[in-house]
Structure 1
Amino acid sequence: MRSFNPRSAAPVQDNTGKASAPIAQNDSQLNSDPTDQSATNRKIGKDSASLQKVPRRVTVATWVVRLCFAFVFVVNVQCALGFALTPEAYMGAYELAGVPGRVATQGIGIAFLMWNCTYPPVIWQPCRHRALAGVVLAQQIVGLVGESLIRATLPVGHDLLASSVDLFITFDAAGLLLMSASWGFLLLLERRVKQSALRQKIEISSC
Structure 2
Amino acid sequence: MGNENTGESSPAQTEKEEKAERPIVHSTAAAQPAANAQPAAAAHPVAAMQPAAGKVALWAARVAVFIVFVVNVQCAVQFIIWPDAFAPAYELSGVAGSVAVQGLGVAFLMWNATYPLVIVDPVRFRALYFIVLVQQIIGLVGESAILASIPEGHALLAAGISRFVAFDGAGLIAMAAAFAALTRSLRRRQTP
Alignment of 1:92-103 (within 5 A): 92-103=88-99
Where 2:23 maps in the other structure, the secondary structure is helix
Q: 2:33 maps to which residue?
A: 44
Query: In percent, how many aligned pairs have the same letter?
Result: 44
Q: 1:22 maps to which residue?
A: none
Q: CA deviation at 1:57?
A: 2.0
Q: Deviations over 1:162-195 (max 9, x none)?
A: 0111110000000000000011111011111221
RMSD: 2.8
1:125 is aligned to 2:121: yes
Q: Which of 16, 22, 31 is the matching residue for 1:34?
A: 22
Q: 1:116 maps to which residue?
A: 112
Show structure 1 runs of 5+ residues with no match.
7-26, 200-207
Q: TM-score normalised to the size of structure 1?
A: 0.74
C-alpha distance in 1 between matches for 2:69 and 2:129: 12
Q: Are residues 46 and 160 of structure 1, via their aligned partners in 2, closer, same or farther at CA, if it must alter by over 3 Å?
A: farther
Q: Are residues 45 and 131 of structure 1, via their aligned partners in 2, closer, same or farther at CA, if it must alter by over 3 Å?
A: farther
Is the contact made by 2:33 and 2:39 (CA closer than 8 Å) also made in structure 1?
Answer: no
C-alpha distance in 2 between matches for 1:139 and 1:162: 22
Where 2:151 maps in the other structure, the secondary structure is coil
1:153 is aligned to 2:149: yes
Q: Which structure would you say has the larger Rg? A: 1
Q: 1:192 maps to which residue?
A: 188
Q: Deviations over 1:48-87 (max 9, x none)?
A: 6855255232122101110000000000000000101000
Which residue identity does 2:93 align to in structure 1?
A
Q: 1:85 maps to which residue?
A: 81
Q: TM-score normalised to the size of structure 2?
A: 0.79
Alignment of 1:16-35 (within 5 A): 33-35=21-23
Number of aligned residue pairs: give it.
172
Which residue identity does 2:121 align to in structure 1?
Q
Q: CA deviation at 1:34?
A: 1.9
Is the contact made by 2:72 and 2:108 (CA closer than 8 Å) also made in structure 1?
Answer: yes
1:135 is aligned to 2:107: no
Is the contact made by 2:80 and 2:102 (CA closer than 8 Å) also made in structure 1?
Answer: yes
C-alpha distance in 2 between matches for 1:80 and 1:172: 14
